[in-house]
Structure 1
Amino acid sequence: MPVERQAINAPAFHGDWPHGSPRDPTEGQMPQRLISMKQLLERIPLSKTEIYRRINGGNFPKPIRLGKNRIAFLETEVEAWISERPGTLPGKSNVG
């Protein structure tokens, strides 16, 4: 026996939006890529402890909380942070 569906009280859409088409505010922009702590540690020669020290001191991009025990960083912010310090990070080369 088919299930009877009830109508929803919503205005009908006839193909035209009142103020033009709705747009995604990020349309035309590159999507923001997130990198994990593990990926971050592969890119920069700092320990996790040192990264947290720098975050707390305002000297490193703040992470985005993805869950109770998971964070990520905006790749563009990390890349900008690295490019502001050419040759100043110990260990790995910042070139390229």
Structure 2
Amino acid sequence: MVGLSRSSIYARIQAGTFPSPIKMGHSSGWIESEIQEWIDRQIAVTRNTS
């Protein structure tokens, strides 16, 4: 959905610039609305809008 590699995603999580995953057994997943908000913020930053 975001086009980032796994290592890039986890680096951004560590930096506090990407939503943290939720644990689902042995797997991890993300809340879709949080990812969409992150995408919307990235668009706003690149277009210099709020």
TM-score (norm 1): 0.44
In structure 2, runs of 5+ residues without a counterpart are: none
In structure 1, runs of 5+ residues without a counterpart are: 1-42, 89-96
Identity %: 38
* 1:83 counterpart (17, 40, 44): 40
Counterpart for residue 7 of structure 2: 49
Question: Displaced runs of 4+ in structure 1, greater than 2 A?
Answer: none
- Indicate the structure (1 or 2) with the bigger Cα radius of gyration: 1
Local SS of the residue matching 2:19: coil
Task: Tell me the alpha carbon deviations over residues 39-79 of structure 1, each in whole angstroms, 9 at most, x when there is no partner.
Answer: xxxx1121000000001111100100011x20110000000
